[in-house]
Amino acid sequence: MSVVLVTGGSGFIGSHTCLILLENGFDVIVLDSFLNSSPRSIDRVKALIGNSDINKRLTIIEGDIRDYNLIDKVFENREQIGNSIDAVIHFAGVKAISESINNPLKYWDINVNGTCTLLSAMNKHNCKTIVFSSSATVYGSPQTLPISESEKVNPENPYGHSKAAIEQMLSDLYQTSCSDWKIAILRYFNPIGSHASGLLGEHPIGKPANLFPLISQVAAGRLKSLKVFGADWDSPDGTAIRDYIHVMDLADGHIAALNYLLTHEFSYLKLNLGTGKGYSVLEVISEFEKISGKRVPFEVVSKRKGDVAISVADSSLAKSKLNWCPTRSLTDCCVDGWKWQLLNPIGYS
Ligand SMILES: NC(=O)c1ccc[n+]([C@@H]2O[C@H](COP(=O)([O-])OP(=O)(O)OC[C@H]3O[C@@H](n4cnc5c(N)ncnc54)[C@H](O)[C@@H]3O)[C@@H](O)[C@H]2O)c1
Q: Is the peptide bond before 146 cis (omega within 30 degrees of 0)?
A: yes
Pocket probe mutation, ligand 1, options 5, 132, 133, max atoms within 8 Å of Cβ? 133
Give the atom of ligand 1 at the shortest distance from the alpha carbon of 137.
6
Per the structure, the count of domains in the chain is 1
Contact predicate 191/245, CB 8 Å: yes
- Residue to mutate, 6, 15, 33, ligand 1, most ligand atoms under 8 Å from C-beta: 33
Split at pLDDT 50, 70, 90, the class of 160 is: very high
pLDDT (0 to 100) of residue 125: 97
DSSP string, 36-93: T--THHHHHHHHHH--TTHHHHEEEEE--TT-HHHHHHHHHHHHHTT----EEEE--S
SS3 assignment, position 114? helix
Of all protein residues, whose CA lies closest to atom 6 belonging to ligand 1? Answer: 135
Domain around 44: 3-343
CATH number of the domain at 62, please.
3.40.50.720
Question: How do residues 264-301 score in pLDDT, each as one tens digit?
Answer: 988 999 999 999 999 999 999 999 999 999 999 999 99
Q: How many angstroms separate the CA atoms of 102 and 259, rounded?
A: 38
Tell me which residues have their CB closer than 6 angstroms to ligand 1: 7-8, 10-14, 32-37, 64-66, 91-95, 110, 114, 133, 135, 188, 190-191, 210
Q: Are 6 and 74 in contact (CB under 8 A)?
A: no
**255 CA to middle of ligand 1, Å?**
18
* pLDDT score at 56: 93
Residue 306's pLDDT band (cuts 50, 70, 90):
confident
pLDDT tens digits along 90-145 = 999 999 998 999 999 999 999 999 999 999 999 999 999 999 999 999 999 999 99
Distance 90 CA to ligand 1 centre (A): 9
Report how far ligand 1's centroid is from the alpha carbon of 198 (Å).
20
Q: Return the residue whose CA atom lies nearest to atom 31 of ligand 1.
A: 64
Q: How far is CA 335 from CA 212, 242, 243, in A?
A: 12, 19, 17
The closest residue, in CA terms, to atom 15 on ligand 1 is: 12
- 348 within domain boundaries: no
* Inside any domain, residue 349: no
> Ligand 1 mean position to 16 CA, how many Å?
12
Distance from the CA of 204 to the center of ligand 1, in angstroms? 10
The pick from 35, 90, 211 for probing ligand 1's pocket by mutation, whose C-beta has the most ligand atoms within 8 angstroms, reads 35
Residue 254 and residue 89 in contact, taking contact as beta carbons nearer than 8 Å: yes
Distance spanning both ends of the chain, measured CA to CA:
34
Does the pLDDT value for residue 221 go beyond 70?
A: yes
Residue 289: inside a domain: yes
Whether residue 322 contacts residue 257, with contact meaning beta carbons closer than 8 Å, is answered with yes
The chain-wide mean pLDDT, for the chain, equals: 96
Write down the pLDDT at residue 208: 86
Q: Which of 210, 213, 273, 209 is nearest to 243 (CA)?
A: 273
Q: What is the pLDDT of residue 90?
A: 99
68-80 vs 114-124: helix crossing angle, rounded to 10: 30
Cβ-proximal residues to 24 (8 Å cutoff; 6+ apart), any chain: 255
Residue 177 has pLDDT above 80, yes or no: no
Q: Give catalytic residues, as residue numbers.
A: 159
Give the Å distance between the CA of 326 and the centre of ligand 1: 21
Asked if residue 192 is part of any domain, the answer here is yes
- Residue 224 is assigned to a structural domain of this protein: yes
